[in-house]
Chain A
Amino acid sequence: MVDVPAAEIILPRPAQRFGALRRLLRHRLAALGLIVIGLLAIGSAGAPWLAPYQPDDIDIAQRYAPPLSEGHILGSDDLGRDVLTRLLYAGQVSLSVGLAAMLVTVLVGFAVGAFAAYHGGWVDIALMRLTDIMLCFPSVFLLLFVAAFVTPSLASIALMIGLTCWMEIARIVYAQILTLKSADFIAAARMVGAPSWRIIFRQILPNTLAPILVAATLNMANAILLESYISFLGYGIQPPAASWGNMLTNAQSDFQVDPWLAILPGLAITLAVASFNFIGDGLRDALDPRMRERSAGALR
């Protein structure tokens, strides 16, 4: 009989390292989302060079210019400020608040979830009950409540949104770590005396990255929406600085006469939020381990 004591014939399959990215790009809506977000980001970041005016340039002669009029491609508002310019600068505010708030949700969510799950005992109970309680209130209420006491600025708004939206990530991380904690590869690491922080960052974090990434993308959409809400309600970014939300507020009084003043920032919000949601959905599919196996042609 054959006795090849050691080497098995089959070498590892050629790696599909970038399989997830390829799958994401194949997801049509997600790819579209990436393009839209890319354009919005470039437009906002490049606003000082791309925008035809300064955001606060007032031109009383050109108030309420309709879109496509000369000098104002997207028209001008009640003070004759260029709408395109304001949209681009507002994008800076909305996108960076969204990004910063998302980062806060990930940091706080991961810290709470990981600490509760890894530590267990009363820490677990205290932190997860806090999470449950926070989840009982709609974020908007929490946000408006806090906003009443805080002077609005970019940083404080991002922080407020972040601190009211971390619960979902905490729950995801918590559930993931609880399952991973009993895995044998964690036992192997514990056995050689790896300290907890090392186990969390080297062994556990990479395994929770996929669901966190998905949730973070969806949180980003949510954060942009929330920023628009509170700016619209007047608790957010204060005029004359522009954000998509307060541009809407501004357009409110003239909506009957000049609907484009509301439609354009509304469109920007919708595009950004929808794109992040599409990317999130695409990521969820692309990072699903079952998808990976299927594409690797696993048996069984």
Chain B
Amino acid sequence: MTEKLIEAIGVTRHYKLAGGRVLRALDGVDLAIGRGATLGLVGESGSGKSTLGRVMVGLQSPTEGEIRFEGLNAAAADPAQSVRLRRQRQIVFQDPSGALNPRMTIGDTIIEHLRVQGWSRVEAREQAARVLDDCGLSASFLSAYPHEISGGQRQRAVIARAISTDPAFIVADEPVSALDVSTRAQIMNLLRDLQRTRGLTMLFISHDLSVVAHMCRDVAVMYLGRIVEIAPRGVLFKSPLHPYTAALISAIPLPDPARERTRRPILLKGEPPDPSATPKGCRFHTRCPRATDLCREVDPETRAFSSAHMAACHHPLTQAPVERTIA
């Protein structure tokens, strides 16, 4: 792998709930993304994928563990470093309507974003026009209010705001889930183009495997606050190791009637358990078709099955691990 740009080391994020219960949104996540790489993060609701994205950009701080950006622990940064860290890490949100201030024009939204970072008004305005143009919006959008433009255009504006500070790392948190099919492809192409031309490092979060597959070279699968499998996309789809990944892949309806007739989805039992009551042992055992007594007792460690393929499962679907590493 190339130089690591951003790393999550043993990151947990717990929320205290009423009645003394604890919601483990993240429960020991290790993750590293190389400079210029694109990592897809898939999982169902409650898997903690959005929380991980927010922790990675510093919107939330981890309960335990640390986020390292270019080797620097984000929690231990001095004020000058903090300013740089904030500039370098940006996020694109799922719902473009909620991500833009309804009472501000698109231009003012981006300008305000830059002004906070110490840009002058004139420079900020020029930069706003420039990034809007990069995102396919003409300068006439500077003075438009969010409710005056379409959902796709709003998402372009949100992306423009994110790239306005010239970040190195972007978290795209379900950026196309709220959009229509035809708009979705436009936004995916835009993100891909920006990623290439600007050499962005990207964490692309989605519940939709086919979207992630199209955007990212590597894919990580999350289940109940932990990454259960991570591999290059081709490998992951052809030979998934974790039964959950296999079920996830088989559950995607294909826009092809002939293949749909032969597709036999692996139907999992029930639904993901409440993240405030993570099962003992392997967290997937309550729904897993391969679960044994071992799985009910012992939480599996993440093992490397090849140099880039890791999974946390006692009974993986293929291959034996080549080496045992990664705590």
Chains A, B in direct contact (C-beta < 8 Å): yes
Q: Using CB atoms and an 8 Å cutoff, list the residues of chain A in contact with chain B.
A: 5-8, 10-13, 15, 183-185, 187-194, 198, 202-203, 206-207, 209, 289, 292-293, 296
Residues of chain A within 8 A of B143, CB atoms compared? 15
Starting from the known contacts A11-B138, A188-B91, A192-B113, 15 additional A-B residue pairs (CB-CB under 8 Å) come to A6-B190, A10-B149, A10-B150, A12-B144, A184-B98, A185-B101, A187-B91, A188-B93, A189-B112, A191-B58, A191-B90, A194-B116, A203-B104, A293-B147, A296-B147
Q: Which of B96-133 contact A (CB under 8 A)?
A: 98-104, 109, 112-113, 116-117
Shortest distance from the beta carbon of B186 to any chain A beta carbon, whole Å? 7
Number of A-B contacts (CB under 8 A): 96
- Determine if B113 and A188 form an interchain contact, defined as CB atoms under 8 angstroms apart: yes
Closest residue on chain A to residue B102 by CB atoms: A207
- Determine if B136 and A6 form an interchain contact, defined as CB atoms under 8 angstroms apart: yes
Shortest distance from the beta carbon of B74 to any chain A beta carbon, whole Å? 12
Contact with A along B74-101 (1 / 0, CB 8 A): 0000000011001101110111001111
- Determine if B87 and A192 form an interchain contact, defined as CB atoms under 8 angstroms apart: yes
Contact with A along B36-79 (1 / 0, CB 8 A): 00000000000000000010011100000000000000000000
Residues of chain B within 8 A of A15, CB atoms compared? 143-145, 148
- Name the one of B57, B99, B148 contacting A12, with C-beta atoms under 8 angstroms: B148
- Determine if B138 and A185 form an interchain contact, defined as CB atoms under 8 angstroms apart: no
- Determine if B57 and A191 form an interchain contact, defined as CB atoms under 8 angstroms apart: yes
Classify the interface of chain A: helix, strand, loop or mixed.
Answer: helix
Residue contacts A-B, CB under 8 angstroms, 21 given: A5-B136, A7-B137, A8-B186, A10-B150, A10-B153, A12-B148, A184-B93, A184-B94, A185-B101, A187-B54, A188-B93, A189-B112, A189-B116, A191-B91, A192-B87, A192-B116, A193-B82, A193-B117, A194-B116, A206-B104, A207-B102
A193 and B58 alpha carbons, distance in the complex (Å) = 10
Residues of chain B within 8 A of A206, CB atoms compared? 101, 103-104
Residues of chain A within 8 A of B137, CB atoms compared? 7
Residues of chain A within 8 A of B168, CB atoms compared? none
Greatest chain A CB density within 10 A among B82, B116, B186 is at B116
A190 and B113 alpha carbons, distance in the complex (Å) = 10
- Determine if B59 and A190 form an interchain contact, defined as CB atoms under 8 angstroms apart: yes
A206 and B138 alpha carbons, distance in the complex (Å) = 26
Closest residue on chain A to residue B183 by CB atoms: A8
- Determine if B148 and A184 form an interchain contact, defined as CB atoms under 8 angstroms apart: no
- Determine if B186 and A193 form an interchain contact, defined as CB atoms under 8 angstroms apart: no
A228 and B149 alpha carbons, distance in the complex (Å) = 49
Residues of chain A within 8 A of B190, CB atoms compared? 5-6
- Name the one of A13, A193, A202 contacting B148, with C-beta atoms under 8 angstroms: A13
Residues of chain A within 8 A of B90, CB atoms compared? 191
A194 and B83 alpha carbons, distance in the complex (Å) = 11
Closest residue on chain A to residue B90 by CB atoms: A191
Residues of chain A within 8 A of B8, CB atoms compared? none
- Determine if B153 and A8 form an interchain contact, defined as CB atoms under 8 angstroms apart: yes
Residues of chain A within 8 A of B102, CB atoms compared? 207, 289
A12 and B100 alpha carbons, distance in the complex (Å) = 15
- Whether B262 sits at the interface, judged by CB under 8 Å, is no
Given A6-B136, A15-B148, A206-B104, check contact A192 B82 (CB 8 Å). Answer: no
- Determine if B101 and A203 form an interchain contact, defined as CB atoms under 8 angstroms apart: yes
Residues of chain A within 8 A of B113, CB atoms compared? 188-189, 192
Given A188-B91, A296-B147, check contact A183 B98 (CB 8 Å). Answer: yes
Shortest distance from the beta carbon of A179 to any chain B beta carbon, whole Å? 11
The 3 A-B pairs of least Cβ separation, nearest first, read: A6-B136, A12-B144, A206-B103
- Determine if B150 and A188 form an interchain contact, defined as CB atoms under 8 angstroms apart: no
